[in-house]
Structure formats: structure tokens, C-alpha cells
Amino acid sequence: MSVREVKLPQVIIFVLNEMRQAGFEAYIVGGAVRDCLIQQPTHDWDITTNATPENSQQVFSGSFYDNIYGTVGLPFEAIKQMMEIKGWQVGPTTQSDFAKQVVEITTYRTEHGYTDRRRPDKVAWGKTLAEDLSRRDFTINAMAMKIEPQELQGRLVLAKKRDEALVQIELIDPYGGEADLEAKLIKAVRDPQARFEEDALRMLRAIRIGAQLGFNLEKQTLEAISLQANLINQMAMERIRDEFLKILISPFPADGVRLLEGTGLLKEIMPELLAMRGIRQAGHHRFDVWTHSLEALKACPSSDPIVRLATLLHDVGKPVTYREQGPRGVTFYGHEVAGARMAKTIGQRLRLSRKEIDRLYILVRWHMFAYTPNMTDAAIRRFIRRVGLENINEMMLLRVGDRVGGGSRTTSWRLRELQQRIGEQLYEPLNLKDLKVNGTEVMAALHLTPGPPVGKILNQLFEEVLEDPSLNEKEKLLRRAKELAAA
């Protein structure tokens, strides 16, 4: 054990103090310890204790408890109210997501048997912190922090307008997590094969944490993942999806995907990507399709996981549309169409929502858009309608990644001019609801009942307005509707 100073939120100091005052042990554990030691922001606060869930709920009236794993949830807002009642001087918080944060207080526990590779067959309350830390996944997550009673006592009243304080903590580190932090290593606690057999999702989690922190995987841990990659198929796809998307939005997404490929995990969860390896490209491209896609992902400026996924998949249709043309030339005609279909299939496999799948499909399907200065305003409006106004910015961010991944600069005069012209068209009619007439008015003017003919007339009116916005006047539209009905 060693002593050092770290910054902790007032609310966490308060929770630890309340647990101690009630006669219970309480330690900060998990990712929060890791983040404090490397001075990174943390939003996942976990506290382990010898108090049972019922004990914890007696200490904290605003808590909730609804699972079999001994975890009591305590919202930051509830903690703040308790602090104010007990006379703590609570200043305004600087954390934008303060209201959404929850402290999780979990009773020491031991786990036995992982028949389904996902959850323990039996969970029992443990008696010591050592038992609790021994069941954790990686050494950098198997540390605990304790604040001494006298230190807590000295923090009972904090200066106003401060939401955190510098305190002395005692670090409990039985598996060398601090040394692995300094070495930037992800290392399994004790036997890595046993850890991954217990919970196969830990293999993905190891790569995800590495991608988030820029850490490498320790040799034996990496080898264990490669040996047991097929176990990932026993996990719920929703859990796989969540870890995979976190890899994509991490600071090092391309490195994460390379590790997935190198360990064999990618073959299990997204084999379509492997076909891109070694597919050469011509023209301005410097890399094969696989490397280009990773470089595009790396350069994509969006933090949206669906945009990152679309960037990774934007050329997934190239292997199936590859054709050689001449001595050195190659073509990929229609790869965006084939790729969009494949992206939709992948999205369905990942259990994305219908809306997310639609966005993914659109971004891959239309990523090959081209612009020339002689394009008419109507053509710009048709592009906006095709892509969807809500997806325009995302499409531009994908294009930035695509350009950089292909060896070009972030932007070009064409892309800047297109963005300018799109902005100029945003106040013009872009969908049916922008028409100055609606279906009810058309039916009244033409004495029609609801049915396909009404929709057909409205669509034709919109196509003409899209070409010439000056036609979007009620009288003109109704006159034209009569002409269409009579034709």
C-alpha cells in the first residue's frame, strides 16, 4: 500500500464519510481508481463495501437497489441534497453531466462458475476487499483507494464554489496495477485464459480500454485472446455491439480494429471487413482497401459511433465489385450500392435500432457524391433530399475521413463550395411538408377521396417545386394539380 494525493469530487468524499460514520468499510474501486491515478476525468464511480445492500440503503435514503449483484445506485443529485441537509457547503458543480451521474455501491462479493461464459453461476457476499479485487478483470482495474478517517474529518466543510478537493488516499494494489499503468499495459488478473473463460466479453473490453487509453496488451493476455476468440460468439450481440462502438469512438479506433483483426475477434463479429485486406486501388489511393478504411476511420472527425462505423464500412462493397481494367487499372463500379446492403446486414447483426441502420445505409450508399460548379441549385436540393437534411453534416465528416484516408487533404475547394451551396438551399422546399398545399386541400379542390392518386399528384408537385421553387404558391399548385388530374 502507498499514500498519494488525488482529486476527488465532494460527493464521493461525502459518500465515503457517511459509510465510515455508519461503521462500514468503503473503498473506491475499478476504473475510477485508474482514471484518478492518470489524472483523467471519470464518470463511473464504484465503491465497494462490507455493508449489505440493505445496510447501504439505510445509510442513503435516495438510493435504489434492483439487482442480484449487490449494487446500490446513488444519484449525484440525491447525494447533493443529503450534503446540504447535513451542513456541507456545496458549491455549484462544474460537471455538465452532474445530474446524470450515479455512484454504484457494491457489497464485497465472490463469484463461482461461469457456465455460459457471461455471468457467474453463483454470487455470494464476500468478507474482505482482497476477495473482491481477486475477481476483477485487469490489473489496472483491480486497485482500490481508501481515505483515512482523519482526512475525511478534515473535509467535512469544503470551500464554496468548489466541487472537488485534493485528498490523501491509500492505494491498495495487490496485482501490480499501478506498474502496469505506468507501462501502459492491459494485463489480466492472474490467469488470462481463466478470466476470459469466465466472461468472454472481457476480450473485447481489453481492446476497448487499450483503444481508449492508448495502451498495449500484455503478451500473455494478448495470446489468451487469440486462443479463445471464438468464445465471443457466446455473448449477447448487444453487449458485443456496445464494446465495438466504444472502440470506434475511442481516441485510437484504428489501432483497436487492428487488434480485433490480429486476435481473430474481427473474424467472429464482422468477417466482411477481412475481405478488404490486399484489395489494391488505383488513382490517388496509396493503400489497399483495408488500410484505407482504417486510415479513414482514424481521420474521421465525428464522435458519433454510427458515423465512425459508416466510415469504417464505406468501402466494404469493393471486394465484391473488384474488376481489373488494363495492366494496372481496377474498378469498383457500384461498390457503394453493394456496400450499403452489406452495411445494413451488419447493422442488423449488431442489433442497431431501425433509425441507426437507416443512417448507416444512407451514409454508405451516398458517400460517393461528386460536385462540379455547373451543378444547378435543383441538383443541390436533390442531393440534400437524397441524403436527408439531418445527415448532411455527418456525410461531410465521413468525406473528410475518406479524403485523408486516401492521402488527400482534409478538404478542397469543391467540398467547401458544395457546403456553401447546400447552406444557400436550406430555406428552399426540401420535402413534401414544405409545399404550400397539403393533401386535404388537393382533395377538396379536385373532389377526390383519400387514395394513391392524391399522393401521386403531391409527389409530382413536389418534384416540380424542387426544380423551380418559385412554383411553390398555393394558387399555382392547385392549378397545376387540376392539370395533372385531367391528364
> What is the mean predicted confidence (pLDDT) over 412-427?
86
Decide if 2-180 and 184-269 have a common fold.
no
Q: Please tell me the least confidently modeled range out of 94-103, 254-263, 360-369.
A: 94-103
> What is the mean predicted confidence (pLDDT) over 163-187?
92
Q: Could you give the CA distance from residue 395 to residue 89 in angstroms, rounded to a whole number?
A: 48
Which of 256, 301, 317 is closest to 399 using CA atoms?
A: 301
- pLDDT, position 427: 79
Which of 332, 264, 347, 327 is closest to 292 using CA atoms?
A: 332
- CA–chain centroid gap for 368, Å, is 25
Angle between helices 201-213 and 237-248 (to 10 degrees): 10
- pLDDT, position 289: 96
CA atoms within 13 A on the CB side of 50: 10
> What is the mean predicted confidence (pLDDT) over 149-172?
64
Q: Could you give the CA distance from residue 310 to residue 367 in angstroms, rounded to a whole number?
A: 9
Note the pLDDT tens digit of each residue in 128-158: 899 889 989 999 999 999 987 655 554 544 4
- pLDDT, position 315: 96
Residue labelled with grid coordinates 457456465: 115
Q: Residue 85 — very low, low, confident or very high, per pLDDT cuts 50/70/90? A: confident
- pLDDT, position 228: 96
C-alpha cell at 285: 489511393
- pLDDT, position 105: 94
**Would you say the C-alpha torsion 15, 19, 20, 22 has a positive or negative sign?**
positive
282 in Cβ contact with 329 (< 8 Å): yes
- pLDDT, position 58: 93
Question: Distance between the two ends of the chain, CA-based, in angstroms?
Answer: 88
pLDDT surpassing 80 at residue 290: yes
- pLDDT, position 330: 87
Residue labelled with grid coordinates 435543383: 378
pLDDT surpassing 80 at residue 123: no
Which of 442, 440, 435, 441 is closest to 471 using CA atoms?
A: 435
- pLDDT, position 339: 97
- pLDDT, position 361: 98
User: What residue ranges do the domains of the chain occupy?
Assistant: 2-180, 184-269, 276-428, 432-486
- pLDDT, position 293: 97
Q: Could you give the CA distance from residue 316 to residue 318 in angstroms, rounded to a whole number?
A: 6
pLDDT surpassing 70 at residue 90: no
pLDDT surpassing 60 at residue 112: no
**Summary count for the chain: helices (H), strands (E):** 24, 13
Q: CA angle at residue 90 from 87 to 95, to 5 degrees?
A: 155
Q: Please tell me the least confidently modeled range out of 31-40, 89-98, 167-176, 415-424.
A: 89-98
Q: CA angle at residue 134 from 128 to 137, to 5 degrees?
A: 140
Note the pLDDT tens digit of each residue in 420-455: 988 888 877 788 888 999 999 999 989 889 999 899
Mean pLDDT (the chain) is 89
Q: Could you give the CA distance from residue 472 to residue 21 in angstroms, rounded to a whole number?
A: 72
pLDDT surpassing 70 at residue 118: no
- pLDDT, position 232: 96
29 in Cβ contact with 47 (< 8 Å): yes
**Would you say the C-alpha torsion 218, 221, 227, 229 has a positive or negative sign?**
negative
276-428: CATH number: 1.10.3210
90 in Cβ contact with 83 (< 8 Å): yes
2-180: CATH number: 3.30.460.10
C-alpha cell at 294: 482504417
For residue 96, give the DSSP letter: T
- pLDDT, position 370: 87
102 φ, ψ to 5°? -135, 135
Note the pLDDT tens digit of each residue in 194-213: 999 999 999 999 999 999 99
247 in Cβ contact with 208 (< 8 Å): yes
Burial of residue 273, with CB atoms counted within 10 A of its CB: 0-12 exposed, 13-18 middle, 19 or more buried = buried
Q: CA angle at residue 121 from 118 to 124, to 5 degrees?
A: 120
Q: Could you give the CA distance from residue 397 to residue 391 in angstroms, rounded to a whole number?
A: 10
- pLDDT, position 28: 96
Which pTM was predicted? Answer: 0.85
Q: Residue 24 — very low, low, confident or very high, per pLDDT cuts 50/70/90? A: very high
- pLDDT, position 278: 93
Four-way CATH pick for 184-269: 3.40.30.10, 1.10.110.30, 3.50.50.60, 3.30.2270.10: 1.10.110.30
For residue 6, give the DSSP letter: E
Q: What percent of the chain has pLDDT over 70?
A: 91
Alpha helices in 300-432 (DSSP H): 305-313, 318-321, 335-349, 354-365, 377-387, 392-405, 413-425
Residue labelled with grid coordinates 463469484: 111
